[in-house]
Structure 1
Amino acid sequence: MYIPKHFAESRPEVLHRLIREHPLGMLVTHGGDGLDANHLPFDLDSNVGPHGLLRGHVARSNPLWHSVESGANVLVVFRAEEAYISPNWYPSKHEAHKQVPTWNYSVVHVHGRITIHDDEKHVRGVVARLTRVHEGSRSVPWKMTDAPPDYIDALLKAIVGIEVEITRLEGKFKLSQNRETRDRVGAGEALIASGKVALGKDMLRMESPDDP
């Protein structure tokens, strides 16, 4: 990934936070049939290894787990909110008219090695953890035990577990850090007003070249 210096983000805690807040990753693999991409929810365990571990699962009918061997190198892409940026949002545009449109976004690229787990006990643990993470904040969280055991058992047999041992993390947070503070703030406030609240607030928190 091309990352200009002013858009680079390397702090592990920041990259991990984006993954946790936007857990639907695009898993890119290269198997016998060439490149493939699957969009899967992942659970991040930052306490495993130097960079962390991703856990997830795929349908047994998905050819992914046959086409890629355990130990193969893979890429997982996680993306936060993104949006078009209009030059009209920059105060400086109305003075010199030397601005053009762009697109702002934050992404994390996870490089790692995949492991396939065709094991019901492992898969049950993955599903239970994903459920706890995403149901935990609800007033009445759904639990696996809410469904009949034989129903859950049948569904677990229809999926296969995957893990990605993270070997390297890359972060690109393109949030107008290369703009004057007034232009970054103007664009950020315009995004918030248009409903892109998370991206706008991220821009307002960033530093520009003229910030102290």
Structure 2
Amino acid sequence: MYVPPAFHEDDLAAVHATMREARLANLVTATAEGLVATPLPLFLAPEEGPHGTLYGHLARANPQWKQPSTGDAMALFMGPDAYVSPTWYPSKLEHHKVVPTWNYVAVHAYGPVEFFEDADRLLDIVTRLTNLHEQSRPRPWAVTDAPENFIRAQLRGIIGLRLPITRLEGKRKMSQNRSEADRQGVAAGLAGSDRASERDAAKLIPV
């Protein structure tokens, strides 16, 4: 990922926060047949390794796990993003030398991916993923709410994955390269958007 110095995010806590908040990632592997990508919910175990370890699962019918990966896999996480209109820059009125751009937060996590079929490990992963995404609900659903034999049958239809992160790239492009007045204009413009993701982006602009 191209990351100019102004947009480089190297704070591990901030990078991990982006990964957690993204909820859905894209797992990309390079194979002899070309690139393969699958959208997946992943969870981060930050205590495992210097950068953390990712866990998730994919459908057994998905051929990605059967195709040997050439080198590291990559998991892509996206944070808030927003189109930035030049009309929000006060500097436009001064010289008109402005163009549209896109603000966004992104994290790329790299590492060797392991696929596995062990039923107990799979049960642990689906339980942790379920608890993660159900915990904020008024009446959370739990894996144990379903019959055990049903869950065991469902586990036979998935493959687990473990990705120990060996390298992280974080990028936070939120108008840091613009003047304070321009940043304020962008923040105000995005704050008035009818898109929730753009209002979230507005909060990340340094003003």
TM-score normalised by structure 2 residue count:
0.95
Q: How many angstroms does 1:72 deviate by?
A: 4.5
User: What is the CA RMSD across the aligned residues, in angstroms?
Assistant: 1.3
Alignment-mate amino acid for residue 147 of structure 1? A
SS of 2:126 mapped into structure 1: helix
Instruction: State how far apart, in whole Å, the 1-side matches of 2:14 and 2:31 are.
Output: 31
Task: Say which SS state the counterpart of residue 38 (structure 2) adopts.
Answer: strand
Partner Cα distance (1:189, 1:52) in 2:
36
- In 2, Cα distance between equivalents of 1:151 and 1:182: 59
Aligned to 2:2: 2
Identity over aligned residues, as a percent? 44
SS of equivalent residue, structure 1 residue 80: strand
Which residue in 2 is equivalent to 1:157? 156
- SS of structure 2 residue aligned to 1:153: helix
2:58 corresponds to:
58
Distance 1:139 1:26 in 2: 29
Q: Deviations over 1:129-159 (max 9, x none)?
A: 0011111111100011212222211111100
User: CA–CA distance in 2 between the matches of 1:68 and 1:39?
Assistant: 18
Question: What secondary structure, in the 3-state scheme, does the structure 1 residue paired with 2:80 have?
Answer: coil
Alignment-derived partner of residue 41 in structure 1: 41
Q: How far is the alpha carbon of 1:23 from its aligned partner? A: 2.5
SS of the aligned residue for 2:170 comes to strand
Question: CA shift at 1:81, angstroms?
Answer: 1.7
CA contact (8 A) 1:123 1:161 kept: yes
Q: Deviations over 1:2-22 (max 9, x none)?
A: 111001001110000000000
**CA–CA distance in structure 2, aligned partners of residues 11 and 64 of structure 1:** 32
- Contact 1:44 / 1:55 at 8 angstroms: preserved in 2? yes
Gaps of at least 5 residues in structure 2 are none
1:200 aligns with 2:199: no
Number of residue pairs the alignment of both structures matches: 204
Which residue is equivalent to 2:79? 80
